[in-house]
Structure 1
Amino acid sequence: MITRTAIFEGRIKPGCEERFFAEVQERLVPLWRQFPKASNVRLQRVQARDADAPSIVMIQQIDYPSVADVEAALASPVRSQARAVTLEILEMFEGRFYHLISGENLVAAEA
């Protein structure tokens, strides 16, 4: 399994916090679920952080069977739709977002 993670680092503009997350949930989550071969979509709102940690407000993750499937999803028409909606929603956000692609969990499950 491969996971593509989006990190939203910065801050939501004051007074926009609840609307920001509502828009993400209502408009983006359905699009993320439509990515070809997406097997699991996760969205986490950061609740707390260490004092010296960067200001990350949201983490989004989508699992895929392979790197080739990630690449196919990124080339799909739904990605263009999601990107356009993301840019609209980011009008309420000050900061940046970036992506990481990671492989399988290196910790074996306990029996």
Structure 2
Amino acid sequence: MIIRSAFLEGSVAAAEQPEFDRHMRETVVREILTYPGIRRVTLRKLAEADTGAAAAYMQFDLHFDSIEAMNDALASPVRQTVQARIKAGMGSFSGRVTHVVSEVLEDQK
């Protein structure tokens, strides 16, 4: 299992957070779920962090079966369309978006 994580490092003004969060939950997550080969999308919002930790307002985790499946999804026309919609809703976010790709080595319940 491969997880591509997008970290929204920065902030959203308090007054704009409800609409921004709603857009991420109701629009962006649903759009990402249309990527070919995607298995799961998780959206997380920072609850608290250690002193000195990066201030990631939100994090998306996109789950794929393999690196190849992830790369195919990222190269797809669907993703290009979704990217435009995501950017359209990012106006109230101040910061940067970074990505990391992780391989799941162990996952137990």
Q: Shared fold by TM > 0.5?
A: yes
Q: CA deviation at 1:2?
A: 0.6
Q: CA deviation at 1:77?
A: 1.6
Moved >2 Å (runs of 4+): 107-110
The residue number in structure 1 matching 2:19 is 19
Secondary structure of the residue aligned to 1:16 is helix
The residue number in structure 1 matching 2:87 is 87
- List runs of 5+ in structure 1 lacking aligned partners: none
The residue number in structure 1 matching 2:73 is 73
Q: Deviations over 1:21-72 (max 9, x none)?
A: 1011121111111111111110001111112112111010011111110110
Secondary structure of the residue aligned to 1:9 is strand
Secondary structure of the residue aligned to 1:87 is helix
What TM-score results when the alignment is normalised by the length of structure 1? 0.90
- List runs of 5+ in structure 2 lacking aligned partners: none
CA distance in 2, matches of 1:32, 1:75: 13
Equivalent AA in structure 1 for residue 86 of structure 2: T
State the number of aligned residues.
Answer: 109
What TM-score results when the alignment is normalised by the length of structure 2? 0.92
Q: Percent identity?
A: 27
- The Cα RMSD (Å) is 1.4
Q: Deviations over 1:55-101 (max 9, x none)?
A: 11101001111111011001112211221112111101000001111
1:1-111 to structure 2, matched below 5 A, reads: 1-105=1-105, 107=106, 109=108
